[in-house]
Amino acid sequence: MVELHKIKITVLKRFHPSEVFGESPATPVKALEACGLFEDDQEFIVENLRMPEGFCTSAWVSIYGNIRLLGFGGNLPWFKEKGIAINCCNDGLRPVIFKLERI
């Protein structure tokens, strides 16, 4: 049986739409703020590749590939540090940047 590593997810930064675009390329139905589902520096622990309670499903889908890679012991070749990844969610107007760390 393969040993799965735990992964710590840290919210590095949430972006307000104005930080991404001066003028929005699409008109939102209502005014958008930075993502309200997360807080900067918030942490989550992933066990057995399961989405942590309270985590955004859309963000999870965006980062799951690297969660899985790190969970099985893999590393990304473009970082000197082993066992980390930096990913963002797929919200193009107000992205959230995450640091993933194998623990």
- Summarize the confidence of residues 60-77 as an average pLDDT: 97
pTM metric for this prediction: 0.92
Which tens digit of pLDDT belongs to each residue from 75-97?
Answer: 999 999 999 999 999 998 899 99
- Is the pLDDT at 74 greater than 80, yes or no? yes
Work out whether the CA dihedral 46, 50, 52, 53 comes out positive or negative: negative
Mean pLDDT of the chain: 94
Indicate the helix (H) or strand (E) that contains 100.
strand 96-102
Give the mean pLDDT of 11-16: 96
Percent pLDDT > 70 in the chain is 99
Average pLDDT estimate for 38-66: 97
Query: Residue 23: how many CB atoms within 10 A of its CB?
Result: 6
Position 27 pLDDT exceeds 90? no
Q: Which of 4, 33, 78, 94 is nearest to 86 (CA)?
A: 78
